[in-house]
Structure 1
Amino acid sequence: GLTVIYRLPPVVLVLHTATSMLFLVSLVALAWRLSGRPAAPSAMATPLLFLTAAAVYLQIVLGAAVRHTGAGLVCVDLPYCRGAIWPSGVHPAVHLHMAHRAFAFVVLGLVAWNAAAAFRAGRVRPLALAGPALAVLQIVLGVLAITTFKDLVPLTAHLLVAALLLADVVSLAVLAGPSRARVPAEAPALGAAT
């Protein structure tokens, strides 16, 4: 859209991605709440799920900062960057890139931990299994984005899978949370006497 056509400043582009992901989170949470599906068993650690959702969101925003500041290809050697695990005395863009790489493994660990807990809650098993698979696919696509020098397909898939991972973790968090009162199938008309 207009964010691409007008070549807006990086901070606006990062905020655009951040806002779109918050909108996605809202839609996913609302869809589950209105679905009437009962909450999952309380064996799932809800605070850890919300922490994981926040970590996935932060990783997406960090990725947007990498993308829109031009830091995507400042480190093209893998697994190192300029011959070091974390180079020093380099441009801040290198640190931004490496922070995105390092935080990917924090997110993977959180997602795997939650998946193990959620797997025991039978009804959410498919969502629990999807999380680690999406996180690993996300890392693979990140590597492909670098090795193909930001080819459009892996780069676009990288953002798509990030959004799917966020939706998955938010779904688990909402389903693990306390049940809410169901919305009636038919609400009275606006202004009608109740």
Structure 2
Amino acid sequence: MAKIGIYGSSFDPITNVHLWTASTVAHRCKLDKVIFLPCSSKRQDKQIHVSDEHRIDMVRIAIEGNNKFEVVDYEMNQPAWEIATYKTMNHFRENYPNDEIYFIMGADLLVDIGEGKWKRAEELIHENKFIVMARDGINMLSAISKSPMLRNADDGQTFHLIDKGLAMEISSSYIRDEFKMGGEPRYLVPDKVYDYIQINHLYQS
């Protein structure tokens, strides 16, 4: 049985912190694979700045050579009304029936789920396992205890909380702003991704 983490994000663009986070989570949680899952531009809750094709190309370039990393375009291929993390996780559990599947997310998303802001949140929590990364200013244990839905699912197996050393954040929006304003974010993204952005004139006004 393999342990697989599903790492969803806009990756707009993918950053060195995304890669460092995925590598650290894989090491600490003994994951055999991390699947990078770029979200679809059709999602109503996301403002995407470049095409799905560019974003998935950048992820492919960034993870090249790491045999623990894989990118999957599953959500990009779904109709807008079908896109929900609950359905996405069902897809991966069906495709890896003999493996242990985890959804990797930040503590801010845990709070949102606990407040019922996600589609089919209760089923999502009861049917899946989660690796939750620290975010500045969020007490993860408190977030679980304050939500009846989360605390009733907290059986010692559902939530794997990573509370130290993963709060470092360099946002994709910061990098986009640097490109747009003529700044120099070179070492915040992988070299090949930086070159790809320059060649394709992405994020530039």
TM range (shorter): under 0.3
Identify, as 1 or 2, the structure richer in helix. Answer: 1
Q: Relative contact order, CA 8 A, sep 6+: which one is greater?
A: 1
Compare CA radii of gyration and give the structure with the larger one: 1
- TM (norm. structure 2) is 0.21
